[in-house]
C-alpha cells in the first residue's frame, strides 16, 4: 500500500471543503479508515451542526488543444459542457483544461476566446472553468515562436497590418544601424534585407506579439493563470511534477512561475528602455543580442555598463527557470517515459508528498489517441493528439471524474470506464466498451452529446 500515512487514508475518505466532490478511494486497512471517518463525522456534526449535502458533481478534464477549435468544441459538446452555439450548459460541473491551447493548429484565437467566454458563463451558474498554463502558453509570452504558424499570425492581421509591418521594419533598420558593434558579434546574422525580414515577420506578426504582451488581450489573461491546480485530492497540470519539484508545495510552484513571468516582463521592458532590443524581438533574437552585447562590451567596442551587464547575465539564465527547464511542471515527461518499475514508486512518493490520490497531465501525446492510466491508475495521461492533422491517429477526448469514484474516458464515438471504485477496477490502462446512458442529444455529424451527469451514471462495462 503506497499511502502509508493515516492522514493520507483519512484524506481519501473525506470530502474536502467548498464545492469539492467526494472521492471514495479509501484504501485498506478498510475498517480502520471507516472507523476514523465515523469518529470525525460524529465530532464534526456535534460542533458544526447538520452536514451539508454530499456533492456528486462531475469534473471534466481535457488535454492539449493546439488550436484545433472544431475538435475542441466537439468534445465540449460531447461531454455536455456547451451547446451548438458554444454557450456553457454544464451547470455546476468543473471543467479543467491542462494547457497548450495554442500553436500548430489553425484557430488558436478562437480556442482562447471560447475559454474566456466559458470562464465567465460557468461562474454565473455555479460552474467552474480552470485553465492552466502549458509550455506553449509560456513560450508565447516569452516570445519563443518556433511553433507559431503563418496561419496563426494571419489570424491577428487587420487592414493596418502592412503599415505596422513596414514601420517595424524601419525601426529594425534604425536599430541595426545604431548597434553596428553589437551586430558584428552576433553568432548568426539577423535578417539583412527587407525581403528576408518581411518573410520572417508576416502580416499579423506585430499584432500577435502585442496580444501576448503583459497589456495584451491574451497576455494579460494568461498571466492570471496557474500552472498547477489541486481539486478534490487530484492534481492537475500540464507536464508533471518531477521528484525534485515535489519538494515544493503547489502554492510555491505557482508563485515561482508567476514570479518568473514578472521577472521576464520587467527585464524585457528594461532592455527596451536601454534600446538594446525592440519590442517585437523573439526570444532567440533577444538571447543572441544580449550575448553579443556582453562580448562587445568585453572587447570595449561599446561603453561598459556594469549594472546592465548584471541584468543581462541574470536574464540569460532563463533556461534554468522552473517554468522553462525540462523537469519543470510545464515540460516534464517522466510519467510517460518511466517504466512501470521506475514510475510506480516515484508516483507513489509524489502523491504522498501532496497527500493526493491522482495526478492528471497532458503534454505528451499518447499512442493510439487514447487516455492512458499508469502506475495502478494513480496517473492519467490525457493528451490524445486532438489535432490529428499534426498528430496522425490522434483523437479529441475528455476525462470524466465522478463523485462516485468513476473515472471515464470520453471520446466522440464512445466512453470507456477506467476506474469504478464502487465495483471492480480495470487494471492499469484497461479499456472498456461504451454505454452512453441517458441524457443524449444530437450534435453536428454523428457525435452524440451526454450530460455531465449521464457520463457518471452510465453503466460502462470494462472490456473482457
Question: Could you identify the residue written with the cell 525592440?
Answer: 278
- pLDDT, residue 453, reads 76
Q: How far apart are CA 417 and CA 463, in angstroms?
A: 9
pLDDT exceeding 90 applies to what percent of the chain? 70
- pLDDT, residue 452, reads 80
Contact 122, 85 (CB under 8 A): no
Whether 459 shows a pLDDT value over 70: the answer reads no
pLDDT digits (tens, 9 = 90+) for 68-87: 999 999 999 999 999 999 99
- pLDDT, residue 303, reads 65
pLDDT-derived band at 305, boundaries 50, 70, 90: confident
Contact 395, 370 (CB under 8 A): yes
Contact 217, 156 (CB under 8 A): no
Q: How far apart are CA 159 and CA 118, in angstroms?
A: 29
- pLDDT, residue 301, reads 63
- Per-residue pLDDT, averaged over 145-173, amounts to 96
Question: Could you identify the residue written with the cell 518581411?
Answer: 198
Whether 88 shows a pLDDT value over 50: the answer reads yes
- Per-residue pLDDT, averaged over 428-444, amounts to 39
Of 60-74, 195-209, 296-310, least confident by mean pLDDT is 296-310
pLDDT-derived band at 329, boundaries 50, 70, 90: very high
Q: How far apart are CA 261 and CA 110, in angstroms?
A: 24
Higher-scoring residue by pLDDT: 304, 231: 231
If phi over 0 gives left and psi between -120 and 50 gives alpha, with beta otherwise, what is residue 137?
alpha
Higher-scoring residue by pLDDT: 81, 446: 81
Q: What mean pLDDT, rounded, does the chain reach?
A: 84
- pLDDT, residue 302, reads 64
Nearest-CA neighbor of 401 among 389, 417, 412?
417
If phi over 0 gives left and psi between -120 and 50 gives alpha, with beta otherwise, what is residue 71?
alpha
Q: Give SS3 for 338.
A: coil
Q: How far apart are CA 323 and CA 331, in angstroms?
A: 8
- Per-residue pLDDT, averaged over 98-126, amounts to 97
Reading the block at residue 147, the C-alpha cell is 511553433
pLDDT exceeding 70 applies to what percent of the chain? 80
In sequence order, which residues have a C-beta less than 8 Å from that of residue 2 and are 6 or more positions away? 348, 351, 352, 376, 378
Whether 47 shows a pLDDT value over 70: the answer reads no
Amino acid at each position: 500500500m503506497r499511502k502509508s500515512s493515516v492522514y493520507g487514508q483519512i484524506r481519501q475518505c473525506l470530502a474536502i471543503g467548498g464545492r469539492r466532490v467526494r472521492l471514495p478511494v479509501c484504501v485498506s486497512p478498510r475498517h480502520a479508515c471507516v472507523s476514523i471517518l465515523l469518529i470525525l463525522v460524529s465530532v464534526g456534526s456535534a460542533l458544526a451542526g447538520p452536514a451539508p449535502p454530499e456533492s456528486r458533481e462531475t469534473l471534466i478534464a481535457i488535454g492539449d488543444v493546439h488550436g484545433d477549435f472544431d475538435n475542441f468544441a466537439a468534445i465540449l459538446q460531447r461531454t455536455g459542457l456547451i451547446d451548438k452555439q458554444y454557450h456553457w450548459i454544464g451547470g455546476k460541473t468543473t471543467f479543467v483544461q491542462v494547457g497548450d491551447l495554442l500553436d500548430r493548429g489553425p484557430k488558436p484565437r478562437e480556442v482562447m476566446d471560447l475559454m474566456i467566454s466559458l470562464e465567465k458563463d460557468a461562474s454565473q451558474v455555479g460552474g467552474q472553468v480552470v485553465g492552466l498554463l502549458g509550455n506553449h502558453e509560456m513560450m508565447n509570452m516569452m516570445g519563443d515562436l518556433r511553433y507559431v504558424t503563418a496561419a496563426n499570425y494571419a489570424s491577428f492581421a487587420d487592414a493596418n497590418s502592412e503599415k505596422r509591418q513596414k514601420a517595424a521594419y524601419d525601426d529594425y533598420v534604425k536599430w541595426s544601424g545604431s548597434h553596428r558593434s553589437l551586430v558584428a558579434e552576433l553568432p548568426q546574422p539577423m535578417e539583412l534585407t527587407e525581403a528576408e525580414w518581411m518573410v520572417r515577420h508576416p502580416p499579423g506578426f506585430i499584432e500577435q506579439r502585442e496580444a501576448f504582451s503583459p497589456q495584451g488581450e491574451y497576455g494579460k489573461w494568461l498571466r492570471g493563470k496557474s500552472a498547477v491546480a489541486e481539486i478534490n485530492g487530484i492534481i492537475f497540470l500540464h507536464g508533471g511534477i518531477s521528484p525534485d519539484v515535489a519538494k515544493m508545495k503547489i502554492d510555491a510552484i505557482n508563485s515561482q512561475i508567476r514570479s518568473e513571468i514578472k521577472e521576464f516582463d520587467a527585464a524585457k521592458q528594461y532592455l527596451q528602455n536601454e534600446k538594446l532590443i525592440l519590442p517585437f524581438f523573439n526570444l532567440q533574437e533577444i538571447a543572441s543580442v544580449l550575448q553579443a552585447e556582453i562580448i562587445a562590451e568585453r572587447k570595449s567596442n561599446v561603453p561598459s555598463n556594469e549594472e546592465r551587464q548584471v541584468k543581462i547575465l541574470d536574464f540569460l539564465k532563463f533556461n534554468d527557470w522552473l517554468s522553462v527547464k525540462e523537469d519543470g511542471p510545464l515540460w516534464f515527461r517522466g510519467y510517460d517515459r518511466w517504466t512501470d518499475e521506475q514510475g510506480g514508486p516515484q508516483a507513489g512518493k509524489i502523491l504522498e508528498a501532496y497527500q493526493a490520490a491522482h495526478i492528471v497531465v497532458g503534454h505528451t501525446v499518447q499512442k493510439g489517441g487514447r487516455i492512458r492510466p499508469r502506475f495502478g491508475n494513480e496517473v492519467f495521461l490525457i493528451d490524445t493528439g486532438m489535432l490529428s492533422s499534426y498528430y496522425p491517429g490522434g483523437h479529441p477526448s475528455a476525462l470524466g471524474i465522478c463523485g462516485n469514484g468513476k473515472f471515464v474516458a470520453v471520446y466522440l464515438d464512445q466512453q470507456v470506464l477506467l476506474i469504478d471504485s464502487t465495483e471492480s477496477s480495470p487494471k492499469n490502462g484497461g479499456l472498456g466498451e461504451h454505454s452512453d446512458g441517458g441524457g443524449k442529444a444530437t450534435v453536428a455529424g454523428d457525435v452524440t452529446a451526454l450530460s455531465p451527469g449521464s457520463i457518471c451514471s452510465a453503466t460502462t462495462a470494462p472490456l473482457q
